[in-house]
Amino acid sequence: MRLPPFVVALLAALILAGPASAEETAKQSVADGIKAKTQPLLKALSLIGTPYKFGSSNPEKGLDCSGFVKHVYKESADISLPRSAAEMSQKGTDIAQSDLKPGDLVFFNTRKKPNSHVGIYAGDGAFVHASSSSSKEVTISNIAEKYWAKRFNGARRVLPSE
């Protein structure tokens, strides 16, 4: 059976376009994955300076620590997290401090109870959080600082793995 010339041409075009299309799809998939993993941190950094307000997850009114994290993940990654730091500490995958990656959640004991404070790891020991203490705003601190080091409770990864 002999195929009409336009069918042969169409098949040839599809075969030739196949690898390029697959390559482009793969590139787009990698780019989408990188974007998905960086969006929460970029959103968190954009909120630095937002005033602290206990019980709020609305940046126009102010944010507390769990409201800040809940807002960041919902707006940037469409991930719904619980409202309290303690409940957030049960979500995602438990990870060691040595395995922290930007976007991971870090938990601290700041009220004489575990996981009473939460922030978003930014890299190189830094984390972004809504502080109720001296600055009373969304700020950057370092896990290695004495105050935070002795209160570190653990970390969770809520973003999809690679």
Active-site amino acid positions? 65, 117, 129
Pairing type for strands 152-157 and 93-95 reads antiparallel
Whether the Cβ atoms of residue 72 and residue 43 lie closer than 8 Å to each other: yes
Half-sphere CA count of 82, side-chain side, radius 13 A: 10
Residue 120, classed as helix, strand or coil, is strand
Which of 96, 95, 50 lies closest to 75 in space, CA to CA?
50
Neighbours of 41 (CB within 10 A): 21
DSSP codes of every residue in 12-78: HHHHHHHHHHHHHHHHHHHHHHHHHHHHHHHHHHHTTTPBB-TT-EETTTEE-HHHHHHHHHHHHH-
Cα gap 17→30, rounded to integer Å:
20
